[in-house]
Amino acid sequence: MATGIRDKVAIIGMGCSRFGERWDMSAEGLMVEAFEECLQDAGLGRDDIQAAWLGTCMDEVNVGKSALPLSRALRLPFIPVTRVENYCASGTEAFRGAVYAVASGAYDICLAQGVEKLKDTGYGGLPNPGSGAGALNWLWFPNMSAPGAFAQLASAYGAKYNIPDETLKRAMAHVSSKSHANGLLNPKAHLKKAITVEQVMAAPIIAHPLGLFDCCGVSDGSACAIVTTVEKAQELGKQGLISVKALQLALSSGEEMGFDDWDGDHFATTDHCSLRAYEEAGIKNPREEISMMELHDCFSITELVTYEDLHISKRGEAVKDVLNGFYDRDGGVPAQIDGGLKCFGHPIGASGLRMLYEMYLQLQGRAGERQLDNPKYGLTHNLGGFPFMNVCSIAIIGKYEN
């Protein structure tokens, strides 16, 4: 009988590059930057790693289709390395592969790494039918943009709950302003500048009601994790273990576009994925038990709606919770403690592991100025695709208790 992943696997090392316009670095250089920190944190040598997973999305403008860039750049000792891609969940997908590998007993120690190098490749997030991505790029992407699709989500959400446009825009502005305040404290963030709610609301409109500061940017970055079983971590003398409580993945089934039950105001995948994650982690009341979150804030409305899809805010009440400061750094469930995609940008393959890196530091009490008071559970959430067709991954990690 399936028992899930709870407390079977421990994270014993993590590393994260500085995110930004890294003209000075190749994708391989970014991987090395994150890996060196990770290896030192774990107190291991590269020869201790028995298998690895590489998460990266935009292969044609990045590292290519194979896993060779990882094994060559890190000089891994002729071990199996697997490249995975699942849109914006690619980094978490690499983590899932490494976690399941050690949990299965196939390996003792595995590496998960995510990377994306976008800034000097000409990639700006616009449709590119010639990239070789098949039917999605040829048939869907030329007819839409990400800001346009998520602006429709905002309009649908506001209409569903009868929220005045000005109120919704102010709540979204608070989401962005809060993240910038957090990112200001993070030396590895791309954008380190505070912005006010008024500045967000006065910014140029990109796709109504989303303005410039409601949108995350494009950047370069890498992050990685070394995992092992709890038993092996204890054999290595590791103290204060951080263990994986849940790992869940949900993909659109076609129901959003094929039936009229979905009215465009939320993410059906996150709704299902979060409930399975809470069950796996043994969490009964996420609003009370989740200590902190890193969410996929590609747009401010995405973060706001996700509060409800994660069953932390009640349906239609996320705006009220946001404006009351519930998700601020000193609120009930702080979100985007490191600044989120809003301040790190979104090097696609790296984002999921970058989120886990912040949760890991917080749980170990090593987050410096950003440190929260004694967190227990940290949740990360990735969303790849569009509101009507997407991939959702959720990870929950926390302090290991015997």
- Which residues are tagged catalytic? 88, 346
Specify the amino acid at residue 264. G
DSSP assignment of 290-320 equals --EEE---SBHHHHHHHHHHTTSSPTT-HHH
Query: If DSSP codes are grouped into helix, strand and coil, which group holds residue 36?
Result: helix
Within 169-220, strands assigned E span: 205-207, 210-211
| 267 burial level (CB within 10 Å; 0-12, 13-18, 19+) | buried
Query: Cis ω on the peptide bond leading into residue 209 (within 30° of 0)?
Result: yes
For β-strands 51-55 and 292-294, DSSP reports them as: unpaired
Contact 159, 165 (CB under 8 A): no
Radius of gyration of the chain (CA): 20
CA distance 103 to 51: 13
First-last CA distance in the chain: 22
Amino acid, res. 233: A
Compute the distance between CA of residue 4 and CA of residue 180 in angstroms, rounded to an integer.
36
| Alpha helices, H only, 316-393 | 318-323, 340-344, 348-364
CA 91 vs. chain centroid, Å, equals: 8
What is the distance, to the nearest Å, from the Cα of residue 344 to the centroid of all Cα atoms in its chain?
11
Q: Please choose, from the candidates 394, 95, 388, 386, the residue with its C-alpha nearest in 3D space to the C-alpha of residue 270.
A: 394
Which phi and psi angles does 390 have, rounded to 5°?
Answer: -155, 170
